[in-house]
């Protein structure tokens, strides 16, 4: 083992956390100053959506120990519910692929998007509750594939590969949040609420039981806890937050198609959670910021042709993950290991 | 033979098999409500499997468990506290990546979903956790991750976690194994103190010095079957026990 990783391991935890935090935040500020306001607003909006996903997934992966790669499915259900219920019915859709849409306002569709995600999560969670460890990873993988197949092939509802256009922005009465800054503020408020909810969950007795389940679910059951109920509850709560992120994403981009919900996105999400650290809300925020900076920042590398940026991002993230697993499996500011 | 009417736990032809191996074979025993009962027997005699069946950690294949007068053909692990039963494990099973403090706190808190979401740190729980950690000698180590503790400290913490349950019946699977003399004395004191407070203590042990000294009742298993049970001195003097187990 080389000297540097050993030194990394032996450094006090608080030291590494501080360095990681300063590094990521410094990187973010420098990047935003360099790129200017418009880019900053876009970057922060992407961050807010990914951060909601990462924080909510960390409840399941980090706190409860269920390595789910199916979170993107719930993100997609939230996004598609918003798109189907709220997209503009008068939009000139291709006649053969037209879908019935009630054209609801954002805030009427939002609770339905979150509730429908919860309903699907309950159904899926009841089935998944009997699985653990490697098998759980596999079945959650299956869920992500099935969800993607629905988005792609249920053309009468989702318009398949054509996607859905004209998804509206949130509106308070006559005030439509169609400006990028207004939407960013709204997204950050949503992120703030999600973080607050997650903090309340993990600092409650419920949260402590989740960590015990992660460590040894048979042992905690002996002390009177119905483990399946706790696992199902956190699974559904986490899915609802992903559904919220999906609804926000659909509204922000105003167009979605199945390519936004492929399995690779789930893998990136897992990478963010591990990068930031398991069982830490702050870690997920930091991980999401580092990911967004990496993703957007690579556009500006002068030696990298534009057509290779996407692949290069995946390679860099993959290498980062391998390095983390080798030298700092608890992530940047995490305490626990998979 | 113990009178089953005065027993806190009574089993009737309790069975558990793993493929062709009959780990517990139609076992009918009675464990008195008062005093300390020790379960002994050679390796593979079914002692831990028996405890696992009583606590619901393993499903029962046949027979019946009667706990405090309630007959059960299925014992669910999460329901065992409702029957007044708690346990420790042969291989210590703590929640390794949380602190010693949280290992105690976690079993003190609310079992129902919604109330547990609303429950924060309660002073009564904190006081109880502090008392227990001090009693098992782990107060100084309360901030340490359970997985970083020594084997003996982990044993003590696991006993503390069981104590936090305030159960009627404690199933301790080899609580004295691998302990330094000082720790062993501490566990003995705890066991005797709990017995004096009216709890039912059932422990598995291979340590014959402790088996002669501590329990009031003895159950001897061999190949998943009951060899004999009764008062300690009476059982230990029986010829079949000496031949089959003590070998002296």
| Pick from B93, B16, B7, B99: nearest CA to B51 | B16
Q: Do A222 and B102 touch (CB under 8 A)?
A: no
Which residues on chain A are in Cβ contact (under 8 Å) with B57? 218, 222
- Residues A56, A245: Cα–Cα separation, whole Å: 10
Strand order through the sheet with B62-67 = B21-32, B7-18, B62-67, B70-72
Among the candidates B126, B145, B166, a domain finishes at: B166
Distance from CA of A23 to the nearest CA of B (A): 27
**B-chain residue closest to A65, CA distance:** B97
Distance from CA of B113 to the nearest CA of A (A): 7
The DSSP result for B132-172, as a single string, is: HHHHTT-GGGTTSBGGGS-HHHHHHHHHHHHHTT--SEEEE
Q: Contact at 8 Å (CB) between A95 and A173?
A: no
Q: Do B93 and A218 touch (CB under 8 A)?
A: yes
How confident is residue B2, by pLDDT bands cut at 50, 70 and 90?
Answer: very low
Q: Contact at 8 Å (CB) between B133 and B171?
A: no
Q: Contact at 8 Å (CB) between B84 and B68?
A: yes
The DSSP result for A137-201, as a single string, is: HHHHHHHHHHHHHHHHH-HHHH-GGG-B--PPPPEETTEE--SHHHHHHHHHHHHHHHHHHHHHH
- Residues A295, A313: Cα–Cα separation, whole Å: 6
Residue A302 has pLDDT above 80, yes or no: no
Burial label, A136 (beta-carbon count in 10 A; 0-12, 13-18, 19+): buried
Mean predicted confidence (pLDDT) in A258-269:
91
User: How would you classify residue B109: left for phi > 0, otherwise alpha for psi between -120 and 50, otherwise beta?
Assistant: beta
For residue B95, give the nearest of A211, A226, A229 by CB distance. Answer: A211
| Residue A2: per-residue pLDDT | 45
Q: Do A209 and B109 touch (CB under 8 A)?
A: yes
CA distances from B204 to A266, B81, B212 (A): 48, 20, 13
CA distances from A80 to A57, A157, B131 (A): 19, 9, 54
**Is B58 found in the same domain as B21?**
yes
Q: Do A221 and B77 touch (CB under 8 A)?
A: yes
Q: Do A205 and B97 touch (CB under 8 A)?
A: no
For B15, the 3-state DSSP assignment is strand
**B-chain residue closest to A337, CA distance:** B97
**Is B153 found in the same domain as B51?**
no
Which residues on chain B are in Cβ contact (under 8 Å) with A331? none
> pLDDT above 70 covers what percent of chain A?
93
In a domain, B183, yes or no: yes
- Point out the least confidently predicted range of B115-119, B130-134, B215-219, B240-244: B240-244
**Is B30 found in the same domain as B18?**
yes
Distance from CA of A147 to the nearest CA of B (A): 29
**Among positive and negative, which fits the CA dihedral A180, A58, A197, A235?**
positive
Q: Do B116 and A227 touch (CB under 8 A)?
A: no
**Is B21 found in the same domain as B57?**
yes
| Residue A3: per-residue pLDDT | 44
The DSSP result for A284-300, as a single string, is: HHHHHHHHHHHHHHGGG
- Residues A252, A245: Cα–Cα separation, whole Å: 10
Q: Do A204 and B120 touch (CB under 8 A)?
A: yes
- Residues A246, A169: Cα–Cα separation, whole Å: 13
Among the candidates B166, B184, B217, a domain finishes at: B166
Phi then psi dihedrals of residue B180, to 5 deg: -65, 155
**A-chain residue closest to B118, CA distance:** A204
**A-chain residue closest to B87, CA distance:** A222
**Is B241 found in the same domain as B173?**
yes
Burial code (b: 16+ CB inside 10 Å, e: under 16) for A207-216 equals bbbbbbbbbb
Mean predicted confidence (pLDDT) in B68-95:
93
pLDDT digits (tens, 9 = 90+) for A247-259: 999 999 999 999 9
**Is B198 found in the same domain as B76?**
yes
- Residues B190, B184: Cα–Cα separation, whole Å: 10
Average pLDDT along chain B: 91
Which residues on chain A are in Cβ contact (under 8 Å) with B102? 208, 211
For residue B55, give the nearest of A204, A216, A222 by CB distance. Answer: A222
Residue A309 has pLDDT above 90, yes or no: no
CB of B88 within 8 Å of a chain A CB? The answer is no
Distance from CA of B155 to the nearest CA of A (A): 14
**Is B234 found in the same domain as B181?**
yes
| Pick from A68, A64, A131, A63: nearest CA to A266 | A68
As for how many domains chain B has, the answer is: 2
CB of B148 within 8 Å of a chain A CB? The answer is no
Q: Do A225 and B78 touch (CB under 8 A)?
A: yes
Cβ-Cβ pairs closer than 8 A, A with B, add up to: 90
Domain span at residue B242? 1-84+168-248
| Pick from B41, B33, B40, B46: nearest CA to B2 | B33
Q: Do B77 and A205 touch (CB under 8 A)?
A: no
**Tokens 């005030």 correspond to what residue?**
A175
CB of A18 within 8 Å of a chain B CB? The answer is no
Q: Do A226 and B96 touch (CB under 8 A)?
A: no
Among the candidates B166, B181, B209, a domain finishes at: B166
**Is B160 found in the same domain as B108?**
yes
Higher pLDDT, A195 or A129: A195
| Residue A11: per-residue pLDDT | 58
A53: part of which helix (H) or strand (E)?
helix A37-58
Residue A115, number of CB atoms within 10 A of its CB? 13
A73: part of which helix (H) or strand (E)?
helix A71-86
Q: Contact at 8 Å (CB) between A326 and A7?
A: no
In a domain, B211, yes or no: yes
Q: Do B95 and A233 touch (CB under 8 A)?
A: no
In a domain, B198, yes or no: yes
Q: What is the ipTM of this complex?
A: 0.90
Distance from CA of A25 to the nearest CA of B (A): 28
For residue A204, give the nearest of B77, B95, B116 by CB distance. Answer: B116
**Is B184 found in the same domain as B79?**
yes
For residue A223, give the nearest of B81, B94, B96 by CB distance. Answer: B81
Q: Do A219 and B89 touch (CB under 8 A)?
A: yes
**B-chain residue closest to A336, CA distance:** B97
Higher pLDDT, A232 or A4: A232
**Is B229 found in the same domain as B106?**
no
For residue A218, give the nearest of B57, B98, B102 by CB distance. Answer: B57
CB of A204 within 8 Å of a chain B CB? The answer is yes
- Residues B87, B52: Cα–Cα separation, whole Å: 9
pLDDT digits (tens, 9 = 90+) for B98-124: 999 999 999 999 999 999 999 987 899
Residue B130 has pLDDT above 80, yes or no: yes
CATH number at residue B188: 3.40.50.300
Which range in A27-41, A164-178, A219-233, B34-48 is most confidently predicted, on average pLDDT?
Answer: A219-233
**Is B63 found in the same domain as B22?**
yes
| Residue B4: per-residue pLDDT | 54
Distance from CA of A209 to the nearest CA of B (A): 6
**Is B60 found in the same domain as B178?**
yes
């Amino acid at each position: 083992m080389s000297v540097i990783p050993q030194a990394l391991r032996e450094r006090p935890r608080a030291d590494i956390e501080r360095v990681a935090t300063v590094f990521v935040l410094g990187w973010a500020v420098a990047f935003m100053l360099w790129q200017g306001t418009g880019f900053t607003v876009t970057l922060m909006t992407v961050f807010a959506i990914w951060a909601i996903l990462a924080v909510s997934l960390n409840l399941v992966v980090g706190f409860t120990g269920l390595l789910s790669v199916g979170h993107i499915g719930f993100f997609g259900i939230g996004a598609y519910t918003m798109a189907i219920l709220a997209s503009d019915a008068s939009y000139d859709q291709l006649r053969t692929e037209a879908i019935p849409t009630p054209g609801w306002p954002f805030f009427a569709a939002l609770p339905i998007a979150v509730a429908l995600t919860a309903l699907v999560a309950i159904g899926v969670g009841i089935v998944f509750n009997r699985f653990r460890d490697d098998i759980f990873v596999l079945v959650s993988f299956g869920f992500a594939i099935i969800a993607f197949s629905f988005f792609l092939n249920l053309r009468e509802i989702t318009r398949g590969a054509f996607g859905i256009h004209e998804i509206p922005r949130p509106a308070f009465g006559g005030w439509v949040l169609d400006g990028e800054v207004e939407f960013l503020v709204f997204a950050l408020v949503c992120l703030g609420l999600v973080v607050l909810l997650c903090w309340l969950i993990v600092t409650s007795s419920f949260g402590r039981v989740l960590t015990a389940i992660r460590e040894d679910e048979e042992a905690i059951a002996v002390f009177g806890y119905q483990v399946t109920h706790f696992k199902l509850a956190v699974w559904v709560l986490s899915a609802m937050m992903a559904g919220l992120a999906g609804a926000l994403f659909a509204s922000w981009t105003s167009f979605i198609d199945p390519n936004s919900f492929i399995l690779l996105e789930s893998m990136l999400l897992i990478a963010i959670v591990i990068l930031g650290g398991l069982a830490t809300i702050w870690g997920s925020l930091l991980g999401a910021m580092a990911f967004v900076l990496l993703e957007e920042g690579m556009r500006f590398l002068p030696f990298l042709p534009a057509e290779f940026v996407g692949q290069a991002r995946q390679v860099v993230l993959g290498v980062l993950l391998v390095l983390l697993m080798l030298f700092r499996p608890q992530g940047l500011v995490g305490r626990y290991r998979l | 033979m113990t009178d089953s009417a005065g027993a806190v736990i009574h089993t009737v032809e309790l069975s558990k098999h793993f493929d062709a191996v009959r780990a517990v074979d139609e076992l009918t025993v009675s464990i008195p409500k008062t005093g300390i009962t020790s379960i002994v027997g050679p390796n593979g005699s079914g002692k831990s499997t028996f405890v696992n069946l009583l606590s619901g950690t393993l499903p029962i294949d046949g027979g019946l468990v009667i706990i405090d007068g309630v007959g059960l053909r299925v014992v669910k692990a999460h329901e065992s506290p409702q029957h007044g039963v708690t346990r420790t494990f042969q291989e210590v099973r703590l929640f390794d990546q949380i602190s010693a403090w949280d290992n105690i706190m976690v079993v003190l808190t609310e079992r129902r979903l919604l109330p547990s979401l609303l429950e924060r740190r309660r002073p009564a729980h904190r006081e109880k956790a502090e008392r227990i950690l001090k009693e098992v000698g782990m107060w100084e180590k309360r901030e340490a991750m359970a997985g970083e503790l020594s084997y003996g400290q982990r044993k003590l913490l696991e006993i503390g976690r069981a104590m936090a349950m305030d159960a009627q019946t404690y199933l301790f699977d080899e609580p004295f194994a691998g302990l330094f003399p000082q720790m062993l004395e501490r566990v003995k004191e705890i066991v005797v103190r709990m017995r004096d407070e009216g709890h039912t203590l059932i422990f598995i042990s291979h340590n014959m010095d402790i088996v002669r000294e501590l329990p009031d009742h003895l159950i001897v298993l061999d190949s998943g079957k009951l060899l004999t049970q009764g008062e300690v001195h009476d059982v230990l003097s029986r010829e079949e026990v000496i031949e089959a187990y003590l070998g002296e």
